[in-house]
Structure formats: structure tokens, C-alpha cells
Amino acid sequence: MITNISEAQKISTDLLPKLMASKPEQFKELLDNPEKYRLQILYTQIDRDKKNRPKFTTHGYRISNTEYFYPASTVKFPASALALEKINNLNIKGLTKDSPMLTGAEYERHTPMLKDSTAENGLPSVSHYIKKILMVSDNDAFNRLYEFMGQEGFNDALRQKGYTDTRIFHRLQVGMNKEQNRRTNPIKFMNGKDIVYEQPMITSQKDYDSPTPIGIGKGYMKGDSLVHEPFSFTNRNFFPLTEQQSILKSILFPEAVEAKKRFNLTAEDYRFMYKYMSQMPTESIYPQYDPVEFYPTYCKFLMYGSGKNDVVNPNIRIFNKVGDAYGFLLDNAYIVDFEKGIEFMLTTVLLCNNDGIFNDDKYDYDTVGFPFMKNLGQLIYQHELTRPRKHKPDLSKFKMSYDK
């Protein structure tokens, strides 16, 4: 089911069905109807040698780079890495990820952004947008980084790294059309009162359409009316699981992937991303989040599901990016238990839409999706507890100092 043969040879397909079958009360419905749920799972075991160098063994379930799913907010993860990389590639004196980033408006539906009350200095910046993306999956923050990259710049940067199946068409939540999404806002980066970098409106000259039409489900709501035909995802983002986990691996273990797939990030950039990928919103000072709405396990679907009242294991940190939209639920995670010396990557998607109707706000996240996510994370974690390791990993690289 994988388009790339060499990739297929690296993914074992025996373990995950066997592990899930051992818990029929949790997984039988999904194992019996995987096509209905469009279920895909990638689980990568990590073993260290005596020099602490990682070796990866990947297990898959129904992995396909052609079966469509809507990636939702998982696209914000590469946007964060690419924005940091673009700043480094520009290599302009006085331009950093913390430079005030003032976004203008030049085309229909463009919106400006000149202030940010959640930042310590009251000004937007690439670094502050990334904090909001990685901790609470802020949509506007992604849109601003999309505008900084430009549609063509975003896609071409990923293709140059070998991520050829990913397609990023559009901003999130604002409902812009194809032409509006091709055009990205003018931006100025400031150093005091001086402009250190100015980017005009960029118009994408390339077409990133799906090679074939994509329709899912049996109907969708258009206003108050039910349209009895599949919902079209043809011109919507796509980010297959293999490329999601490959980018996660590239950020976490840059020394262990081929040079072409790495991002041009500094040591400080990596630490910055690790910190906010794993920091709970309740540990954040800027932005300051309401702990009722943004509870400690917010956006940590694997291991915790939607458990607002779950007790956080203080020895575990989850470095991840989730997504949920149109009934699709996703998590792309690296999970570490510092006390037990456990680390693994787990990336998954499923469709929680039993009635097959899209845009009706009736999705089965709470009854199907979140319980699955929690159960899967716990299943793999328990398996990792029993898995022998020749060398205990040194995980100090991933121990962060959090804001509070």
C-alpha cells in the first residue's frame, strides 16, 4: 500500500495487529472495520548502541501514501520547522525568530496582524507563533507562518527534502478559496523602528492539486441542506503518515537521517522546538492559558485521549503535534519515559464519522477517537516496558527547563 518500495521494505506489518488483537475489548471494532475508520498506524521502536546512537525499527498498520485523510493541524509542525529554517537561510543581520513580524493585507480576505497581546512585548513573532502552535495548536499562528513561507515556498521546501507526497494548499479555519490561498500577505520584520526584512505579497505560480479527485463519505451539509454525494477533499491539504513521522524523526534525530531530509536549524532552534512540543499549556507564562480550557494533557491524545482529569505521569513527556477536523483524528508523537528509559515514535490517524456525513459537526471523537488514541498509546507504552534493550538510552537531550 506504500507508493515507495524501499519504504515498504522497512515497515513490518505483523506486530501491531497482534498487539491490538490482545485487547479485543478496546480494538476489535476497529480491527474488524479498518477501511471504514481509514485507520493507519506507524510505530517506531528506538534502540541505542553503546555510543547512544539510535537505530529505528518501524511497524505499520494499513500504511498508505495514497489513501486520503485530512491532516488537520498536523501540517503546523513542518510549518514551524520551515519558518525557523527560512529565517536561517535568509541570513540577515538583526533578523531572528524573535524579531517583531508585522503582517499586512493586500488581497481579498487578507487580514493584518500588527500586535499580539499574548506576547511579553505585545508583538507577533515567528517564535511566539510557534509556541502557540506547538502547545495549543493555534490556527491563526499557522496561517501567519503559511503566509511567511508562501504556498509555493512551503511546498517546494518540503519537496526538496524528499517529502514529495505532502500537499499544502491552504490556511486553516478561514475558508479562503483557491486563488486567495495562492496569495500570501506582505510582511515586515522589525528591529526597533528599522525594517530588517520586507517580503511583498507572494503569488504561487504552481498548482498543487491532487492528481485525482478525492471524495469521501455519502453526503455533506451545505448550509442547512444535506447534499447526497461524497464530500470533496481534492483541493485540501494532504500529509501522509510516513512523511509526518519522517519529519518528526528529522527534527528529533537530525544526525540519524540523511542530510537531504534535515532542516537548516541551529542547536538553539532544536531546543526551542523540543521545549514547546513537550511543554504543557499550564506551564506557559507567555502566552498565559486558562487551565480549565487548556488543561495539562491538552493536545496529548496518545496516552491521555481527551482526559481533562487524567493525572500526568511526571516521568513521561510527549513531543508531538495533533490534529482533528472533519472527523479525522491524528497524533504524531515521540513519547519518552525518563525514569524507565523508554522512547518510541507513534503516529496514527482514524476517521470518526460513523454516519458518513461531513460538515454536520456530528463526529465520534469522544466515543471512538479519543478512547482509541489513549488505548493505543497505553498499549504501545506497556509493550515498550517489556521490550528488552541492550543499552539504556541517555535521554538527557530531551530534558527541558519549562517556563514554570
Whether the model clears a pTM of 0.85, i.e. scores above it, the answer is yes
Whether residue 114 is contained in a domain is answered as yes
| pLDDT mean over 236-255 | 98
Whether residue 121 is contained in a domain is answered as yes
Name the strand (E) or helix (H) holding 226: strand 225-227
Please state, in angstroms and rounded to a whole number, the distance separating the CA atoms of residues 198 and 152. 18
Residues 184-212: tens digit of each pLDDT: 999 999 999 999 999 999 999 999 989 89
Whether residue 206 is contained in a domain is answered as yes
Domain containing residue 125: CATH number: 3.40.710.10
CA 372 to chain centre: 18
Closest residue by Cα to residue 239 from 40, 12, 5: 40
Q: What are the grid coordinates assigned to 212, written together?
A: 485525482
Residues 316-371: tens digit of each pLDDT: 999 999 999 999 999 999 999 999 999 999 999 999 999 999 999 999 999 999 99
- Percent of the chain past pLDDT 90, that is, above it, reads 96
Give residue 10's pLDDT band: very low, low, confident or very high (50, 70, 90): confident
Residues 44-99: tens digit of each pLDDT: 999 999 999 999 999 999 999 999 999 999 999 999 999 999 999 999 999 999 99
Looking at this protein, which amino acid is placed at residue 260? K
Whether residue 403 is contained in a domain is answered as no
Q: Which domain holds residue 25?
A: 5-398
Do residues 364 and 293 make contact, with C-beta atoms less than 8 angstroms apart?
A: no
Whether residue 404 is contained in a domain is answered as no
DSSP character at residue 229: S
Quick check: 1 pLDDT over 70? Answer: no
Number of domains comprising the chain: 1
